[in-house]
Amino acid sequence: MGHRLTEAKNLNNIGKIYMQQKDNATAISYLKQALQTHLSIGDNESYPLVLYNLGLAYMKNNQLEQALHYTQLAAETAERYQANDLLMRSLTQEAAILHQLGNDTRAFQQLQRANRIKDSIFSLQQTEQIEELKAKYETERYLMENSNLKLANQKNEIIIKQQKLLFWLLVFISLLLLLFVWLILQRRRTADHLKAIEMEQKLLRSQMNPHFIFNSLTVIQHYILKKNTRLALNQLSALATLMRLILENSSQVFISFGKELKTLRLYLDLQQQRFAGQFDYRLVFDPSLETSMLSIPPMMMQPFIENAIEHGFIGLEEKGLIQIRYKLDNNILRCEVEDNGIGIDASMKAKTGTEHQSLGL
């Protein structure tokens, strides 16, 4: 049966090649042989595609009645086996044939049906992408929680070790001055290590703010409901890229200036979509900095930018504008954030009684 199935598929492919060469009569001959072979071996999954190709060959050969017959058979069979993509193509081809036969009413009905199936396929694909993104986020959050637990255990172990060292310090301080000096130095190194661990914990917890991700997914869901495919896919891609960059950067003390700019642009673009274009932003820097070997802490400017977005534009009548400037002055990188918002005093009054959790450090 495997040999016969291969033979049937080869006959179908040969028919398609002859169609591409516009030798439709020869194509029909090979496709009919492929159809008979599929039927003889009882292969019910592959022969609907042969029916579709046979209808297409007849249509190209201007034999519309035969084309309609085989295309309708392809649609019926595809529907029976829930082959939605082939069903959509068959209905679209059937509408084209009916239009050529002058039956525009029936053609319009079949075309509408094909569009409904197309929408359902698209909706299913988008739902699967959203679920995949949610599953990926949950997995990453689980890994982060495990990492935090491991860091906490390391911290407790270091504290216990420090207490033991201090105990022995008190016992032998009068006899072993050199040991006392060594223990002091060890204590300082331990304190620095603890501080680094605490900062890493805060970075891991804060840079993946569920509130920000939920708002971004809500914007994507809005685009999907509005059937704005391009914007929905762009937002999905931008959010996934930002999440990947944040996770990569969170394990590093310094990153390149170019990578920092890429992360910052993604964050600002997502915030613009979230706030429906209520503000613009402008990055001002020497172009040579983007390709230089300069390294800076990750997301260093993000907390200041977020404060400007969340609080600076409250009640602002005109469109907001944030300007971020980077300037190298005597080997010192100067960073500035400026906005045309309502000011710190007015912002503090406006946000009284509300809470806000920053995305960054």
In this prediction, residues 32-41 reach a mean pLDDT of 84
Mean pLDDT along residues 190-218: 65
> Residue 334: in which H helix or E strand, if any?
strand 332-339
Each residue's pLDDT tens digit, 116-159: 988 877 655 555 665 676 677 677 777 878 888 888 888 888 99
Predicted confidence at residue 153, as pLDDT, reads 87
Cα angle 219, 225, 226 (rounded to 5 degrees) comes to 90
Burial of 105 (0-12, 13-18, 19+ CB in 10 A): exposed
- Out of 42-56, 81-95, 98-112, least confident range: 42-56
Phi and psi (nearest 5°) for 124? Answer: -65, -40
In this structure, how many other beta carbons lie within 10 angstroms of the beta carbon of residue 297?
Answer: 14
Is the dihedral angle over the CA atoms 72, 73, 79, 85 positive or is it negative?
Answer: negative
Residue burial 5-36, b: 16+ Cβ < 10 Å; e: rest: eeebbebbebbbebbeeebbeebbbbbbbbbe
Q: Is the pLDDT of residue 358 over 50?
A: no
19, 17, 55, 18: which is closest to 35 by C-alpha?
55
Helix (H/G/I), strand (E/B), else coil: 30: helix
Greater confidence (43 vs 194) lies with: 43
Name the CATH superfamily for 2-102.
Answer: Tetratricopeptide repeat domain (1.25.40.10)
How many angstroms separate the Cα of 342 from the Cα of each of 68, 281, 325? 68, 16, 20
CA-closest candidate to residue 298, choices 197, 152, 178, 199: 199
- pLDDT at site 359: 41
Identify which of 145, 258, 149, 265 has the alpha carbon closest to the alpha carbon of residue 205: 145
Alpha-carbon dihedral 131, 132, 138, 144, rounded to 10 degrees: -160
What is the tens place of the pLDDT at every residue in 53-78? 988 999 999 999 998 999 888 888 88
Averaged pLDDT for residues 21-39: 87
Q: Would you say 165 and 186 are in contact if contact means Cβ atoms under 8 Å apart?
A: yes
Across 195-211, average pLDDT: 58
pLDDT reported for residue 191: 79
Residue 133: the pLDDT is 63
Half-sphere exposure of 233 (CA within 13 A, CB side): 7
Tell me what pLDDT residue 281 has: 92
pLDDT in tens, 264-277: 899 899 888 888 88
Residue 359 · residue 207 · CB < 8 Å: yes
C-alpha to C-alpha distance for 165 and 161, rounded to whole angstroms: 6
> What per-residue confidence (pLDDT) applies to 127?
59
Contacts of 307 (CB under 8 A, 6+ apart): 358
Q: What is the DSSP string of 119-170?
A: HHHHHHHHHHHHHHHHHHHHHHHHHHHHHHHHHHHHHHHHHHHHHHHHHHHH
Provide the 10 A C-beta neighbour count for residue 340: 16
* Structural tokens at position 349: 């009054």
Q: Supply the mean pLDDT for the chain.
A: 81
